[in-house]
Chains A and B, each alone.
Chain A
């Protein structure tokens, strides 16, 4: 930062400016004190406060995580149900084989393949970024959530543009959760479908669809919700690789840049933020059990 020919005095001045001349426990306590005030220091490279950078970047990561989760749930849960109902039929075997391949794939590899196929070869979707350059220059965000902002501003051209940018990263990031959700849904449904009360429901003469959707699904959902919550937490962090591939201006790609530049305040702040989000999501999942299962109560 001070160059190779820096004098010892210059190095010492920099160490003092960055607070590196103090003992480690003091540095740590100062960091903790700052954390309580949401002061995570400044980026060494850009000088921008880390907290400010997190504020502007997290909506992008959140939007991407929600989009990929929606993709995963909308396809994964029905796929799991169908696979359970048609156990050992070709639908089941195909769905489970595909989902096994899904969990075995590196997310960034899938991202690169998607870009190559849909952006470069077919030209259907934009390969990177969150919004097109032309549209982006004219776009004035309000909250930082571009989908919400474009609706609030009645700017539907921007909305279309934002959505088209979201498709590929959401698919890439959502594939692993999709595969996991499908597998968990299937096994939870199989477990429930073998229970006595389902046999009773069938014996009453209820149509099969009603038995599956009304009686079985509700009880099978609890483990699925757990896994959705856990996966959502992972998505917020797993996005490091996906955001890098798609140049998505979120927390993940920022942490990655921080690592490459050895910008420790950025890495520190980013990791603290992501871990806190991870813990918070897990807490919310635990609390949500009471909503879905009336037998569970928190006192």
Chain B
């Protein structure tokens, strides 16, 4: 770069422009930025000249610290960007379509198949192979596997949503406290997290179900508990970096209470990674819930839970003589988990700054 000579007006142009009053050329800039520039308005404006006002680089020395409203605006911007990148990824699109389709199917089940799949038995069709009457065949009690799997999808989705919701809410809450207040709260929560993570997840879930008794509710709690430490770790790490940032310091300087800072400023800023993790967790939660069902620790047999159906077929020996009683429930579990994994992958790609 050439050294600036007195005859060269260029180096001045940028500096002066920072002091220039607002002109129409800047109308595309948001009102908030305008407000900031108005503060630094020169009381002795130079004659307005579009050529001079064009390269508007705000003087870094004059810049005020970002306000939370700026951050909120930036967040909206970045969420839009994330969504755009998400839509660009193939896995994200497939995952989104699959997830929406599965949710729609689950919602439509009672309308399109308005009977209880567990009591609608056709003993004549016991263990029948897939046919036009029974698309996925019939199970040992003559129940239509297609309908059972369809209703199983509903139960699986509910279990995974509730358990991940539980893990997300509890984990995020403790993560926020540990990361924001540090000190003894952080130490104790850190210990609890380490202990929970030291157990292999399925064992932890089994332990919780053994204490709470085998039922659908226990499965939701067990799978939720397994998710808690993951969310604590994630939230804590984000809070640690966010609490030192300018916008948080500003809000604190204005005298905002801790709970306000945490829930109105830090939490919204850390939502995106939490959403990605929650989506991926939905997949593992589905697998774990079905695993507990398979071990006989979930819903009791007449309930069309997918893992319980597999277990029923395995224990009665149908898995070898009537393979459709295992193929289709397992395929549905795989499909649900696949949908969540694809969706989570797409969201993560959208969030990854390297992809932008």
Where the two chains meet, the residues of A that have a C-beta atom closer than 8 Å to any C-beta of B are: 100-101, 103-109, 112-113, 115-116, 120, 233-234, 236-238, 240-241, 244-245, 255-256, 259-260, 267, 271, 274-275, 278-279
Contact = CB atoms under 8 A, between A and B. Distances in A.
A115 B200 contact: no
Nearest to B336: A104
A1 to B, nearest CB: 18
Interface string B322-356: 01001101100110011001100100000000000
Contacts of A109: 310, 326, 329-330, 333-334
Contacts of B341: 100, 103-104
A273 B300 CA distance: 30
A183 to B, nearest CB: 10
B334 A106 contact: yes
B203 interface: yes
Contacts of B307: 106
A105 B210 contact: no
A104 B337 contact: yes
13 contacts: A104-B334, A104-B338, A109-B326, A113-B330, A116-B326, A238-B200, A241-B291, A241-B294, A259-B295, A267-B210, A271-B207, A275-B198, A278-B200
Contacts of A267: 210
A245 B202 contact: no
B291 to A, nearest CB: 6
Contacts of B337: 103-105
Nearest to A194: B354
A274 B327 contact: no
B200 A106 contact: no
From DSSP, what is the main secondary structure of chain B's interface residues? helix
A256 B203 CA distance: 10
Given A104-B283, A106-B290, A112-B310, A241 B334 contact: no
A243 B213 CA distance: 23
B296 interface: yes
A106 B333 contact: yes
Contacts of A112: 310, 314, 319, 326, 330
B333 A260 contact: no
Contacts of A238: 200, 202
Interface string B260-301: 000000000000000000000001000100110011110000
A244 B294 CA distance: 10
B135 interface: no
Given A100-B338, A113-B330, A108 B200 contact: no
B200 A260 contact: no
Contact of A108 (B283, B291, B296): B291
Given A104-B337, A244-B295, A278-B200, 20 more contacts: A100-B91, A103-B337, A105-B330, A106-B291, A106-B334, A108-B291, A108-B314, A109-B310, A109-B326, A109-B329, A112-B326, A116-B323, A116-B326, A238-B202, A240-B203, A240-B206, A241-B202, A274-B200, A275-B199, A278-B198
Contacts of B207: 271
A251 to B, nearest CB: 11
A171 to B, nearest CB: 16
Interface size class of B (residues with CB under 8 A): 20 to 34
Interface in B299-313: 307, 310
Contacts of A103: 337, 341
Given A103-B341, A271-B207, A108 B310 contact: yes
B320 interface: yes
Nearest to B90: A93
B280 to A, nearest CB: 10
Contacts of B327: 113
Contacts of A275: 198-200, 203
A260 B329 CA distance: 23
Given A237-B202, A279-B198, A106 B294 contact: yes
Contacts of A105: 330, 333-334, 337
A259 B298 CA distance: 13
Contacts of A116: 319-320, 323, 326
A161 B327 CA distance: 29
Interface in B197-234: 198-200, 202-203, 206-207, 210
A22 to B, nearest CB: 20
Nearest to B313: A112
A100 B341 CA distance: 8
A131 B97 CA distance: 47
A274 B200 CA distance: 8
B212 to A, nearest CB: 13
B334 to A, nearest CB: 5
A35 B319 CA distance: 41
Contacts of B287: 104, 106
B326 A259 contact: no
A109 B203 CA distance: 19
A165 to B, nearest CB: 18
B338 A271 contact: no
Contacts of B334: 101, 104-106, 109
